[in-house]
Amino acid sequence: MVELSSLAYVVFEVGDLAAWESFAKDVVGFQLDQPVSGGGLALRMDKYAYRILLQPGARDDLVTAGWEVPTEAELVAFVAQAREAGAGVTENPGLAKVRGVEKLYVCEDPNGFTHEFFFGPTILPISRPFVSSVLSGSGFVTGALGVGHILPVSRDYATSLTFYQNVLKLRVSDYIRQEIAPDIAVDATFFHSSTGRHHSLATAQFPSQKILNHIMVEYADMNDVGLAYDRVRRAGIPLVLELGHHPNDQMFSFYVQTPSGFAMEIGSGGIVIDDSKWCVVNYSQLSDWGHRRVSEPS
């Protein structure tokens, strides 16, 4: 079985590009750049040409998840097994040029966005190092672990789980099932790719106007989480969840509302899974402490 290496990039369609520029650069600490081609804005986190692409448009939501595979041979083999699993995967040479990759295939997710599978990303020269205007530590945790993670909301939970396991071949990391009110429970499944970030994708089914509940980006230095939290408060940007800690991926984080309305989790301290030693478990709470929803009473 061929597995995906990492969630290498995501593409958002955004209605207010200017608001995103300020939020991305001055609050979160991304480096702004023009995309390889195709318009919009590229957000850099490391030596890759981009990790997040912002396209102008009215959706204000996730439109694409881009998954990296190390070699062309492995990419072709992955596509073959995805097709055997029933997915309609097609090659798109024109889009490969837009994305700045060597070869790219596309398929639809049951929840209303697309997946892109590729090899050969554009790496920028050392004369163009990643530079953040606000981060104090060594930057973002990316590299082989990818951009971070996404949580798309399931239209049909069972269908989504089957797709992520049988087509994307992601591995279950663990589950969280928490009763948030009498007879009302949140049931979430967390998935990792071959390089082992605790989860590159998670999903759950609950009422939502957005496909994307949140994207997570991770700082190498925990202090940058606190500094970002202070920048959010000073800028008057709405918080979604206060500072807190997750039991499964061990992430210390907070959630802020992006200019598109979905949330961004900003954290540090996430674990990397070693599958030879990993045991899948079910947690009974989403957070060990904190992560108080801002609309909730203290």
Specify the DSSP class assigned to residue 70. Answer: S
Q: Is the pTM of this model over 0.95?
A: yes
Tokens of 236: 């008057």
Residues of the chain with CATH 3.10.180.10: 6-119, 143-290
Say whether 263 sits in a helix, a strand or coil: strand
Q: Look at residue 298 in the predicted model and tell me its pLDDT.
A: 47
The domain made up of 6-119 is a member of CATH 3.10.180.10: yes
Q: Look at residue 186 in the predicted model and tell me its pLDDT.
A: 85
Q: Note the helical H segments in the chain.
A: 17-22, 72-84, 93-99, 157-162, 222-235
CATH of domain 143-290: 3.10.180.10
Q: Look at residue 5 in the predicted model and tell me its pLDDT.
A: 98
**pLDDT band for position 295 (cuts 50, 70, 90):** confident
Checking if the pLDDT of 296 tops 70, the result is no
Measured over the CA atoms of residue 114, residue 216, residue 142 and residue 28, the dihedral's sign is positive
Q: Give me the torsion for CA of 228, 232, 234, 240, rounded to 10°.
A: -140
d(CA 189, CA 33): 34
Least confident of 29-33, 191-195, 204-208, 278-282: 204-208
- 296 CB-near residues (< 8 Å, 6+ apart): none
**pLDDT band for position 179 (cuts 50, 70, 90):** confident
DSSP letter for each residue of 168-234: S-PEEEEEEEEEEETTEEEEEEEEE-TT-BS-SEEEE----SSSEEEEEEEBSSHHHHHHHHHHHHH
Q: Look at residue 35 in the predicted model and tell me its pLDDT.
A: 79
The amino acid at 85: A
What average pLDDT score do residues 72-79 get?
A: 98
Rg (CA), the chain: 18
Tokens of 276: 């030879």
**pLDDT band for position 39 (cuts 50, 70, 90):** confident
What average pLDDT score do residues 260-286 get?
A: 97
**pLDDT band for position 181 (cuts 50, 70, 90):** low
Checking if the pLDDT of 182 tops 80, the result is no
d(CA 82, CA 211): 23
Tens digit of each residue's pLDDT (9 = 90 or more) over 84-106:
999 999 999 999 999 999 999 99
